A and B are shown apart, each in its own frame.
Chain A
């Protein structure tokens, strides 16, 4: 009976789980099937967990059940309580826990196989060369994911500044740390002969990996967050796959590879949207040559009041709204929708132009506007909307800056030269709601502020929009 269970039922159930993961992920790529896809993936996870318990047979379940309950409660409560606007940091945090778990499993295996039985020999002798290598990789990648995601979480939630923190000679420091970690890994893998040195080596490797995770994300500015979050997501998948190699568990290898691949594609999409390479994002510390504090003086900037903006809006026939991170910070998504509804009732054609890296995570604006019930048919991608700006009466930019900067196209010396941007300046008139003239995360001047067809409306996005809404309402009532 046990033979049948272990040799047939368990592998078949694992296979079923892997197939469901693939279908689930495929479902997530279409709006229509996305929710079912997510549910399928959750079902796959449940099957994998039950199968693992079956495979273990009769063991001491108390720790397993306690862990599942504690983790389930924390994760569940956090997921239900979190505001939609805090979604980027929540995803980053969850991701870190996943990576950390992979590293912990690998460490647990090292302890169980080598240190606790006081094994006199290297990890390669106890686990086999391949498992020793993958266990080390699991510790390295998992730990980097843990602390890297945690720093990303702190940056996204504003607990530490979003500006890149650049240590002097950080490439040298990172390189030395990496080599040190590698040396510790090779030592425990192939040369350590005593449990005490093994403990030392494992702890050193883990500690350095944890530090590396911090050092990797600290120099990355807020605008690059969509890239780094996708990348960390990919890493957590790879860490899981490495754990799968150590345990010879194909479900782990398959799901880990799926996540690794999908994260990498998303990273690539985000990089293309900023006209940069991944290595450029990771190692360049954006904005350092542009100078972040002094972003240039501005000449004539027309500042308008919400009343004046409302008068413009009352006359337009088409309006494109460009949301940015400022919209998320001000939580103005509902007010934007209110304004759009008001104008649509008057026959104005309203659409939203979504830049791929607007916000702090891939698709951030889409989620935010979905929360306010904006139909996703109105959300237009950059390539589709750019040719339409010429026929657009007015553009309302809410809390976005770098993604509408004409310098990307017109100034070849600009740090963001070549980055695809929304060509809002082609429209009849542009209104920018912004708190001040301060530069965006790229830390560069935005010439759009000085354009003749641009007006600045200074203030908090939500407050300004509320005033515009009430002004438009009274204008309509008066007419």
Chain B
């Protein structure tokens, strides 16, 4: 049986390879949307912030987690919306031509 750390490292390394494999060939047209979409995905740390903010007391750890939730949500909501706006411009053009 592997310890949780080792499992985590396995998952991390394999996910890195998956990341490298899917991204290797990407048209330059999509560099910005890919970056901005990936950036929104990195807001996944929101999951961690929520877990950390579950106590209702007003103490330092809750305050830090509360700010973390705000930051991460800005990243997630803003990131996905901005990416969608950008990609909307690409598809709008396609519908015309």
Contacts and interface: CB of A to CB of B under 8 A. Distances in A.
Interface string A249-278: 111111111111111011001000000000
Contact of B35 (A39, A108, A263, A379): A263
Contacts of A192: none
Contacts, number: 390
Contacts of A76: 77-78, 81
A244 B70 contact: no
Contacts of A31: 27, 29-30, 90, 94
Interface string A16-31: 0000011011101111
Given A42-B40, A375-B93, A75 B24 contact: no
Nearest to B96: A373
Given A71-B72, A130-B5, A240 B45 contact: yes
B97 to A, nearest CB: 5
Contacts of A254: 11-12, 15
A253 B64 contact: no
A78 B31 CA distance: 21
A263 B38 contact: yes
A79 B22 contact: no
A45 B93 contact: no
A28 B30 CA distance: 7
A14 to B, nearest CB: 9
A367 B86 contact: yes
Interface in A266-298: 266, 269
Given A63-B53, A98-B71, A257 B15 contact: yes
A29 B30 contact: yes
A265 B20 contact: yes
Interface in A101-115: 101-102, 104-105, 107-109, 111-112, 115
Contacts of A72: 73, 77
Contacts of B77: 71-72, 75-76, 79
Interface string A112-154: 1001100000000000101000000000000000000000000
A451 interface: no
Interface in B20-76: 20, 22-56, 59-62, 64-76
Contact of A261 (B4, B19, B56, B82): B19
Contacts of B48: 101-102, 105, 240, 243-244, 246-247, 249, 252
Contact of A68 (B16, B28, B29, B73): B73
A79 B85 contact: yes
B37 A261 contact: no
Contact of A251 (B35, B44, B80, B89): B44
B8 A259 contact: no
B39 A233 contact: yes
Nearest to A255: B44
B69 A38 contact: no
Contacts of B36: 87, 91, 94
A189 B86 CA distance: 43
A375 B97 contact: yes
Centre residue among B7, B28, B42, B66 by max chain A CB count within 10 A: B42
B81 to A, nearest CB: 4
Nearest to B59: A116
A363 B15 contact: no
A351 interface: no
B32 A45 contact: no
A431 interface: no
A79 B82 CA distance: 5
Given A98-B72, A130-B5, A361-B32, A237 B38 contact: yes
Nearest to B43: A98
B5 A245 contact: yes
A111 B81 CA distance: 33
Nearest to B4: A248
Report, nearest first, the 6 A-B pairs whose CB atoms are least far apart: A71-B73, A261-B19, A60-B56, A363-B31, A67-B69, A75-B78
